[in-house]
Structure 1
Amino acid sequence: MRHRLWLLPVLAALSGLPFVQATEPAPLTYHAVQPTQAGWLSSDAKVEAVRDTLLSAQVAGAVIALHVKAGDRVRAGQELLRIDARMASQGAAASQAQVAAAQASLQVAGKEYERQKQLFAKRYISQAALDAAEAQWRAAQAQVQALQAQAGVAATQSGLHVLRAPYAGVVAGVPVALGDMAMPGRPLVSVYDPALLRVTASLAQEQAQRLRSGGGVQVELPGLMDKRLDIAAAQVQVLPTADPLSHTVPVRVQLPADLPGALPGSFARLWWQGGEADAGARVLVPAKAVVRRAEMTGVYVRGGNGQPQLRQVRLGLPQGEMVEVLSGLRAGDQVALEPQAAAKVR
């Protein structure tokens, strides 16, 4: 083998080419991940509408008019949908006719009662006859009141065939089509108020207790704005319940009114100031150590065999030349500072 190495310069000289001796690759430089002092912590959240209403049918009938579609803006009291009300209208008309007949009978009974009182005053009839006339008159009155109540119910049922917007908002969905059969309880139109939005997250009980003591928070809406929103403590509501399975507490944060571009169901991130119990929860790595390949974000971490291994991570916000790693790393890991060189190590 030694003779072969001596022959390489001789062969290079005879061929007229310069001899280049192979060199060992430079060793990789690693950054040891160390726990940092507690700072801003974050949790995944979602945007919700404070007023989100699912309008359902209260009566049965076919949908004969549909005036809105998903995405339409509506005003308070605007007609959204109409259900066939012909049978209800006929029932209401019949009830009104019955009320008119009962009122006519009441007039006859009233006049008869007046005549009986005059005859009783002249001692032409007995007290029993007068009492019978009075009873008929009062019965006619009760009959009119009962039929008027029934007519009111029929008129109210006729009004239930028209669906109106309870407030000014945006139509989120219309799960029915023209001609569908509406049944009591079946959802027809979904409406929400875009001016009143909030962010909801689930935090650990210790973290929720820290917010309950009056700490402010920050809200991040990725893709909508490039900076966080500072939210005062008065706009933070920690619900007095906890999930029995995950032992997390729901936290609601009120967003500024009429926030442009915010939609219910979109992704958000809730940030809050950590305390002593959260020390060491955050890790920072140099931004130059991060590798981005298509939709994957990762870093090269020294493995048990001493070789760099690519590991996927989830990043937080940058802090100068460092960037926060939300998941994928822990204290004690060693991250390669030259990811391009680490990728060539075999």
Structure 2
Amino acid sequence: MCNRRTTSRQVFAPILMVAASALILAACGRDTETKESPPRPVRTTTIEKRESLVPLTFTGRVEAEDEVSVAFRISGRLLANDIKVGDRVEAGQLLAELEPQNELSGLRQAKAALSAAQGQLTQARNHYERQETLLAQGWTTRANFEAATQARQTAQSQVEAAEAQLSSAHDLVSFTELRADAAGKIIATGPPAGEVVQAGQMIARIARQDGRDAVFDIPAQMVRSAPAGVQVTVSLTDDPNVTAQGRIRQIAAQADAVTRTFEVKVGLTDPPAAMRLGATVNGRVEINSGPTIDIPATALTRINQQPAVWILDPSTNVVAARNVEILRFDQAQVTVSQGLDAGEIIVTAGVQALHPGQRVRVLGSEP
């Protein structure tokens, strides 16, 4: 029994020694191969921070800088309303009329009342003058004279009241005519002729000719980031070659209840004639987003399912992976928001063949 065990050990011992020797030699060979492999050539760049201008584009419309809605001051039935959208009007031009029968009747009554008051004033003055003469001669009493004085003053007041009523009647007649208060273009109209309208009801909306605005609906975060007085380039949507410059002159104090955007008005400087009222335009503005880091798109790789770059240690020429956060990117350039600092060196070519701790050789320098 003991002889068999001894024989087995004697047989397997040399085999185990040979296998162990082979493993040791293989490991040594790998270490030798790793140590002797040349550094991988790469290209690098040094990180710099630069001020970044972010272009923003919005679509809006052209409106008059000053619009006014015109309406009658009194209620009545429309007798004539021939204005149309797009018509040009001049200051003082007749736009619409109301039926004036009631107002003309009131005017006639006011004239009659003034004539009656003037007749009474004439009679009261004559009586006053007679009483004044008789009092001086001693043929009347002072009580009669004072009564004549009071009657004259009352008649004078009645004449003044009648004159005021006549002036008011003239105004009411003039209110039956609606005239433009400034030159411009009709951009909206109200009820047609024949309808009964109320005082203050819009009959026409006039865009005055003293300026134009480009109006945009802007999200709240963009409104907060836009500096005051920023210059905006406005161009026609259907013809980008037609452009005008402008500056933000008004921002709505309250957001729209439905869209939650703010209405922003851009005052246009010398807009071309092609930018007609109601035209669709694009507004472009560049906003400074602060210092940013831009790197070539070729430097970006993916490690741990996240964007990353290879950082080069210039003292040892060894690379290490680092995850970064991307702000925006295109085919040629990537803007990094976090993960890199100015002065660091990153690999821009050969990133796909690297692994952590690998020694590299920067092309154009000594190995």
Bin of the TM-score, shorter chain as denominator length:
0.5 to 0.7
Query: What amino acid is the match of 1:43?
Result: F
**2:255 aligned residue:** 243
Matched, 1:201 2:213: no
Aligned-pair Cα RMSD in Å: 3.2
Q: Does 1:40 align with 2:63?
A: no
Contact residue 211 and residue 238 of structure 1 kept, 8 A = no
One of 244, 257, 261 as aligned partner of 2:274: 261
Question: Is 1:129 matched with 2:150?
Answer: no
CA separation of 1:195 and 1:238: change in aligned 2, threshold 3 A:
closer
**How far 1:331 sits from its partner (Å)?**
4.3
Change (3 A) 1:62 1:224: farther
State whether residues 75 and 165 of structure 1, in contact with CA within 8 Å, keep that contact through their aligned partners in structure 2. yes
Q: CA deviation at 1:228?
A: 3.6
Partner residue in 1 for 2:112: 97
- State which drifts further: 165-174 or 235-244: 235-244
Query: Contact 2:244 / 2:269 at 8 angstroms: preserved in 1?
Result: no
Check whether the contact 2:242–2:274 (CA below 8 A) recurs between aligned residues: no
Report percent identity of matched pairs: 23
Residues 224/265 of structure 1: CA separation in 2 closer, same or farther (3 Å cut): same
What is the match of residue 73 of structure 1?
Answer: 88
More strand by share: 2
Q: Offset at 1:119?
A: 1.2
1:39–1:202: structure 2 CA closer, same or farther, 3 Å change rule? same
1:270 lines up with 2:286 in the alignment:
no
TM-score, normalised by the number of residues in structure 2:
0.60
TM-score, structure 1 length as denominator? 0.63
* Aligned match of 1:340: none
- Cα deviation for residue 240 of structure 1 reads 7.5
AA aligned opposite 1:59: I
Q: 1:224 & 1:102 partners in 2: Cα distance?
A: 71
1:221 matched to which residue of 2?
236
Question: CA separation of 1:161/1:271 partners in 2, compared to 1, >3 Å: closer, same or farther?
Answer: same
Residues 1:118 and 2:133 are matched in the alignment? yes
- 1:62 paired residue among 68, 72, 77: 77
- Flag the structure with larger Rg: 2
Aligned residue for 2:144, secondary structure, equals helix
Q: Which amino acid aligns with 2:249?
A: Q
- Say which SS state the counterpart of residue 255 (structure 1) adopts: strand
**Which 5+ residue runs of structure 2 have no aligned equivalent?**
1-50, 298-326, 332-367
1:132 to partner: Cα distance: 0.9
Cα displacement (A) at 1:113? 0.7
Structure 1 SS opposite 2:181: coil
Amino acid at match of 1:276: S
Matches within 5 A, 1:1-346: 37-203=52-218, 207-208=222-223, 211-231=226-246, 235-239=247-251, 241-243=253-255, 250-257=263-270, 259-277=272-290, 331=328
How many Å separate the matches in 2 of 1:187 and 1:215? 36
Task: Supply the AA of the counterpart residue of 1:58.
Answer: R
Query: What is the aligned length?
Result: 249
User: Which 10-residue stretch deviates more, 187-196 or 165-174?
Assistant: 187-196
Q: Distance in 2 between matches of 1:50 and 1:332?
A: 39
CA deviations on 1:205-237 (whole Å, 9 max, x unpaired) are 665466544432211221244254233xxx431
- Structure 1's unaligned 5+ residue stretches are 1-35, 285-329, 335-346
Amino acid of the residue matched to residue 186 of structure 1? Q
